[in-house]
A = this chain, B = another copy of it.
Amino acid sequence: MKLSTSMERFILHWGEMGSRWGVSRSVAQVHALLYLTSEPLHADEITDTLSIARSNVSMCLKELQGWGLIKMTHVMGDRRDHFRAEQDVWEVMTRIVEGRKEREFDPLLITLQRCQEEARADSTTDPAVAQRIGAMHDFVHDMTSWYDQVRKLPRPVITKLMTMGAKVARFVS
């Protein structure tokens, strides 16, 4: 497939973002390409378009499926697997955030919990240190439980809250 300038720019920047967001450049590029393309693509088409190794494309597709960002489909009369990305931006972001939460914050919280218990039990640890570990734990805990509540709200409600922006403050007396 031939990419237009803007598609190319989008894919390249998304690739850069990816490497800052815990997926490799090529995973993010494959995702960007599939996001921009509405028709399902098969692996060889991706290989040609992005000029990366066929095997790498396989790995990327697998990882993206793990993130729930793409799904496999089949085209009538074609034996090859085809892939199609979630097209809804909100859904895309939700899954990315959800994935990062599971991969980063859940383990962080477990470690912090453990540090906290350990610090309190251990008499050689300065209570002030235990207190600071506790403060960090509580913060992360509060953040994740806030997130867990809010993400379950119906999407229109969240959208509305967002468009209200700072105006939500008026409800806090």
Contact = CB atoms under 8 A, between A and B. Distances in A.
A49 interface: no
Interface string A123-158: 011001110110110110011011001101100010
A162 B146 contact: yes
B129 A7 contact: yes
Interface residues of A, number: 59
Interface of A: 4-7, 9-10, 13, 17, 20, 22, 35-38, 87, 89-90, 93, 104, 108, 111-112, 114-116, 118-119, 122, 124-125, 128-130, 132-133, 135-136, 138-139, 142-143, 145-146, 149-150, 152-153, 157, 160-166, 168-169, 171-172
